[in-house]
Chain A
Amino acid sequence: MKLAIRLNKKVNRSWQVDALLFLALAGFGSFMAIPLIYVINNAFKPLDELFIFPPTLFVRNATLENFANLFQVMKNSWVPFSRYIFNTVFITAAGTAGHILLASAAAYPLAKHKFRGSKVLFTVVVLSLMFSPHVTAIPNYMIMSALGWMDTYQAVIVPAFAYPLGLYLMKQFMEQIPDALLEAAKIDGASEYRIFWQVVMPLVKPAWLTLLILMMQMLWGTDGGSFIYSEQLKTLHYAMGQIIQGGIARAGVGAAVAVIMMTVPIVTFILSQSNVIQTMASSGMKD
């Protein structure tokens, strides 16, 4: 028995099953990766190579022509292109930060305390996840115009603060924190706010980094919906869409746009992911 404990989990493994599972992982992994490899390669293909038979996965004579064309179009747009970039970065950063803060603050009492209305509130949040956003677009539009928020940044940013997804995710994670930890903090004289900020938030770092990745990806891809119509406030996603449609509808430029748009979420993901793994090694989540 002592031996089993020392060898830890590895004692329960057989190498045959390990190999089989690894093969499955590799197989499905390539299914996931091939279309992305194809997009990236397409972005570097010269025009004649995009339309050859038989089609190829990998680029032969890599060229930056597609990107050069893209930048050429950007230069000619009548709103400076940096403005689109600023709009998207601003909306993404403000929306993500606000959402993580408000959703976590609201999740903590729901996960760790019983009080009047807590059950009802949480049920409503979960239910609201199941309502199709395609229909609430019209009522939302009415509410926005009643508030006088049409065509402003806050029309996109402020509703993002209160998406149901984040609260639900944070609550599920906070439930796993041992009560003893919170009671200890309380006995030491910490207020609820302090417990939330200095005890709970560091413990659920994987949860809010997950949320950071999800929100940032969602807002990065927003086109401003039906709320933003002046060109100065449009987002990068919208501008890129215009470039693909606007006359120069070429597969190459389209692929270049796709590669640029997907780079930022993927880089954010890589950065936060390494962080999750590092901090989780010694978190003391369980008692």
Chain B
Amino acid sequence: MRNYWALFGKDVRRDKHLYILLAPYMVLFLLFTVLPVVISIIFSFTHFNMLEMPRWIGWENYSKLLWNDDVFLIGVKNTLIFSVVTGPVSYIACFLFAWLINELNPKLRAFMTLIFFAPSISGNVFFIWQIIFSSDSYGIINGLLMQLGVIYEPIQWLQDPKYMLGIIMLVQLWLSLGTSFLAFIAGLQTVDKTLYEAGAVDGVKNRWQELWFITLPSMRPQLMFGAVIQITASLAVADVAMALAGFPSVQYGAHTIVTHLVDYGTIRFEMGYASAIATVLFVMMLGSNLIVQKLLKRVGE
């Protein structure tokens, strides 16, 4: 045991410059990210309404959540439908558009990057979709359809559970060329150009082979990053749903796990229960990430 600590001390002394580089970030990260996460996981085992002291209740929040909360199950269902559609679509779109744009000449490339990236960077501009899908005849879609004679009465797009989820998916896709898209663009710029020449010599025949055997494997770090970001974002959808369909939405048509969490966390102030919801969501994200990372390791083989 003493040997181990001596070795440990020696390693730390040898790498002290590395620890010094890490320290400022890690101290703040522990204080403002890790500590709050740990506290809220602990809260998830308590009854905590912000007025009284937290009271330990064990697994009660979780059992109530999973067996006795029908609204939560609606939220889970919507979230799953949502993430299974938008997650993969937007991940692939992020890469595909980044890749296509990368082949353009520099001026056109800068312009197209701006067009695709602008929606996600321009803050809360997605409220515009509320006007586009507005329920009266001033809404762009309703106005257009009525003018064309397809419909005679305006459709209540954002109040009808039939359309709600689809519209939110559309808007989310519109917004989704954000962080990962930008990381892919930057990643494509760092792929070694000589690899393509070497590939041509080795018999790479078309752009699809080039993509699979050269581009994708060279970008594995960015692909991993993008996957984590996309999974996290598509399972945590809430802001767009709340802004467009209202909160709570009609018949919980646009209810998701995070809107359920917002309901208990910031409206009913049942922090213990809200923390349990967050922990369940966390486990779901973790599971999906492990699966996707396994799949990504096979890229280019």
Contacts and interface: CB of A to CB of B under 8 A. Distances in A.
Interface of A: 1, 4-5, 8-9, 11-14, 17, 21, 24-25, 28-29, 31-33, 35-36, 38-39, 42, 51-55, 57, 102-103, 105-106, 108-110, 113, 115-116, 121, 124-132, 134-140, 142-143, 158-159, 161-165, 167-169, 172-173, 175-176, 191-193, 196, 206-207, 209-210, 213-214, 217, 220-221, 237, 251, 254, 258, 261-262, 265-266, 269-270, 273-274, 276-277, 280, 283, 285-286
Interface string B34-65: 11110110010000001000000000000000
Contact of A162 (B32, B43, B113, B229): B32
B300 to A, nearest CB: 15
Nearest to B101: A25
Given A251-B131, A262-B123, A276 B34 contact: no
A286 B195 CA distance: 10
Given A140-B36, A266-B114, A5 B200 contact: yes
A53 B138 contact: yes
B124 A138 contact: no
Interface residues of B, number: 108
Nearest to B145: A54
B179 interface: yes
B32 A158 contact: yes
A163 B274 CA distance: 22
Q: Is the interface of B mostly helix, strand, loop or mixed?
A: helix
Given A109-B18, A192-B21, A269-B118, 9 more contacts: A24-B100, A35-B128, A51-B138, A54-B147, A121-B22, A135-B265, A136-B33, A162-B29, A164-B29
Contacts of A277: 106, 109-110, 189
6 contacts: A109-B19, A136-B33, A213-B182, A262-B125, A266-B114, A277-B106
A189 B125 CA distance: 51
A57 B261 contact: no
Interface of B: 8, 11-12, 15, 17-19, 21-22, 24-26, 28-29, 31-37, 39-40, 43, 50, 93, 97, 100-101, 106, 109-110, 112-119, 121-125, 127-129, 131-132, 137-140, 143-144, 146-147, 174, 177-179, 182-183, 185-187, 189-192, 194-197, 200-201, 204-207, 209-210, 221-222, 224-225, 228-229, 231-232, 236, 238, 258, 261-262, 265-266, 271, 274-275, 277-278, 281-282, 285-286, 289
Contacts of B286: 127, 130
Nearest to B281: A132
A172 B289 CA distance: 16
Contacts, number: 298
A135 B112 contact: no
Contacts of A106: 21-22, 24-26
A49 B22 CA distance: 57
Contacts of B39: 136, 139, 142
A38 B224 CA distance: 35
B189 A130 contact: no
Contact of B121 (A192, A258, A265, A286): A265
A38 to B, nearest CB: 6
Contacts of A11: 200
Nearest to B37: A131
B122 A102 contact: no
A29 B17 contact: no
A109 B33 CA distance: 20
B118 A32 contact: yes
* Interface pairs A-B: 4 shortest CB-CB: A286-B192, A262-B122, A162-B28, A106-B25
A206 B113 CA distance: 14
A11 B119 CA distance: 35
Contact of A173 (B114, B122, B177, B221): B221
A161 B28 contact: yes
B123 A162 contact: no
B139 to A, nearest CB: 7
Contacts of A29: 112, 115-116
A54 B124 CA distance: 26
> Which of B228, B229, B274 has most chain A Cβ within 10 Å?
B228
